[in-house]
Amino acid sequence: MSPVSTLFRHSGPLGRGRPLGRGRPLLGRGLGVALAVAGLLASPRGFVGAQAAPNHPAGSASAAASVVDKLGGLSPVAPNTLENPGFPPAFFYKPKAGKGMKPVFVYLHGRSGVPEEGCRQWAKVVTEFGWLLCPAGQLPFNGNPAERTWNNDWFTSEKNVLGALNALRGKFGKRVQLRGNVLMGFSEGAYVAQNIAIRDTVTFNRWLIVASCDRYFGGDVNVLTEAKKKAKRVYLWTGETDGVVKESEAAFQHLKNLGYSVKLNVAKGYGHQIPVDTMGQQYRKALRWLVAAK
């Protein structure tokens, strides 16, 4: 049985609602928009209970920054395209310096996200540390081929992500690290990233999750407990007015109680979004902390 999505409903402006689950209202796409998909998530690997990501588009606007962030804003250079057999093409940027093996930072966009644009958002801050790889969700969102969704299907998405990573390795050889990489995700991409990360801690033992939710991990505590053995560090970032902030706090406490090395940043002045104009201020220290773990 393959994963299917859970039920969603709109509850107000972007960043003000909460995902449906355990009695909480759901984040919506925007005023006057309602999308509903019914079902329970059931893993083809026998894992049952992880609830799907909220049905809202991927925000990208950022709060006003008092200081200009040199690592903020979209990269002026378009990403490279990488063929990913069986899936849409992925996008990538090379590391800024060095010819030896470098870690790969894999970014999973939110629902309705444009993968190329998401890659450009992260390029300036990530390429200081290694490769940036941005797979594209398997399906178009609302029929728009530019906007993508993972369809709440982490199982198929894992094949997509690993296929892109192997394609990058095939193209550049041993300059591309295959183990101990960083998996990053936002919104629906956070849901997919959380589910892939806890099941493949060999490939991804460091996680950066934007708008995380504790319920995305599901109800099988053994999965998280087992993942703890190889996971190095976890960084959670959520805007203070994001509707999932309480669930991010719950995820932090859950991981901390299990003994994970985990940090949570509830960022003032932000909602459900990628802080495009302040990427360096928000994430540079976090990325350095993640890769510093031995």
- The sign one gets for the Cα dihedral 46, 49, 54, 58 is negative
From 208, 230, 260, 217, select the one nearest 104 (Cα to Cα): 208
Spatial distance between the Cα atoms of 190 and 91, rounded to a whole number of angstroms: 18
- Residue 219 has a pLDDT of 78
Give rounded-to-5 percent helix, strand, coil for the chain. Answer: 30, 20, 50
User: Model-level pTM?
Assistant: 0.81
Identify the segments of the chain with pLDDT beneath 70.
1-67
Pinpoint the alpha helices (H) of 79-235.
115-126, 154-172, 188-197, 221-227
Q: Which fold has domain 80-292?
A: Rossmann fold (3.40.50)
How confident is the prediction for the chain on average, in pLDDT?
A: 83
- Residue 149 has a pLDDT of 98
- Residue 52 has a pLDDT of 60
CA-to-CA dists, residue 81 to 19, 133, 168, 197, angstroms: 33, 10, 10, 24
User: Under a CB-based contact definition with an 8 Å cutoff, are residues 35 and 243 in contact?
Assistant: no
Three-class DSSP category at 263: strand
- Residue 110 has a pLDDT of 98
